[in-house]
Copies of this chain bind each other. A is one copy, B any other.
């Protein structure tokens, strides 16, 4: 790999406001705690806990003001270091906005995006008020200007590949088709990096940014996924598309891609280790700790 680990920015961003699920804050903090120690600079975007106060929907987006504040802090942190590459540890999927915008500005048409996710993340306020489902549309400049202002160069849909995308809604299917974005389902991938490598070679980009939403993984095999929230009733996520991949398949694809290109962006998002989230609640019952 041609990227010097000392020039990789580790961006910790335990944002939950994009999904309106406060548990993503703890998940993000845990992810930062278990990740290998960074060898380059590290920045942590301060993300307030949920205080139980109202999270207002403004212009169709929940916690719009908090999100814009956090994006601005992430962008400032990135600019302070002007890194060659960025590892972003979320938090919810919205955390990719600032780092991917910056990488696209830096690398231009030499950058391609692998969006490794069970969902396409191209909705707008009319489809859903949680902006974590909008983030790729924002990066394509398909959103309100207060969000796209941090995207100086929009991502060209021909430079986007969906990896592991499952069932999409009619709106999502239409958007993906209209923009001509290539999509590979878990079954099309068939556990091999071959089709991803084929797309990358055909695209020609030599720098790759990877958005890895862990919900692309099979929720029957991995306990740390939203769909396994023990506080919710069985069936709470009926009708929501779920992932069908293995962690090893994702790792295999990324390593195969990295052998032919430079991975310059890696986001890991939407990690919810329920057993430690549960313990975090128990800890609040201890004296002195609160």
Cβ B290 vs Cβ A266 within 8 A: no
Mask, A28-39, CB within 8 Å of B = 1, is: 011011111100
Cβ B289 vs Cβ A251 within 8 A: no
Cβ A33 vs Cβ B26 within 8 A: yes
Distance in Å: Cβ of A184 to nearest Cβ of chain B? 19
Cα A5 to Cα B288 with chains together (Å): 8
Cβ A258 vs Cβ B280 within 8 A: no
A263 contacts the other chain (Cβ, under 8 Å)?
yes
How many copies of this chain sit in the oligomeric assembly?
A: 2
Which residues from B are CB-within-8-Å of A254?
Answer: 286-287
Cα A26 to Cα B255 with chains together (Å): 25
Mask, A20-58, CB within 8 Å of B = 1, is: 000000100110111111000000000001000000000
Q: Please, which residue of chain B has its CB at the minimum distance from the CB of A85?
A: B288
Which residues from B are CB-within-8-Å of A49?
Answer: 37
Which residues from B are CB-within-8-Å of A3?
Answer: 288
Cβ A266 vs Cβ B283 within 8 A: no
Q: Please, which residue of chain B has its CB at the minimum distance from the CB of A28?
A: B33
Which residues from B are CB-within-8-Å of A37?
Answer: 49
Cβ B36 vs Cβ A288 within 8 A: no
Which residues from B are CB-within-8-Å of A85?
Answer: 288
Cα A224 to Cα B276 with chains together (Å): 9
Cα A87 to Cα B290 with chains together (Å): 10
A223 contacts the other chain (Cβ, under 8 Å)?
yes
Distance in Å: Cβ of A22 to nearest Cβ of chain B? 13
Mask, A268-290, CB within 8 Å of B = 1, is: 10000101110110111111111
**A residues at B contact (CB < 8 Å):** 1, 3, 5, 8, 26, 29-30, 32-37, 49, 85, 87, 212, 223-224, 247-248, 251, 254-255, 257-258, 263-266, 268, 273, 275-277, 279-280, 282-290
Q: List 13 A-B contacts (CB under 8 A).
A: A34-B277, A36-B280, A224-B275, A251-B282, A254-B286, A254-B287, A257-B287, A263-B288, A265-B288, A266-B287, A266-B289, A273-B276, A276-B276
List the 10 closest A-B pairs by CB distance, nearest first: A34-B280, A29-B33, A258-B287, A33-B33, A251-B285, A266-B288, A263-B287, A30-B33, A36-B290, A263-B288
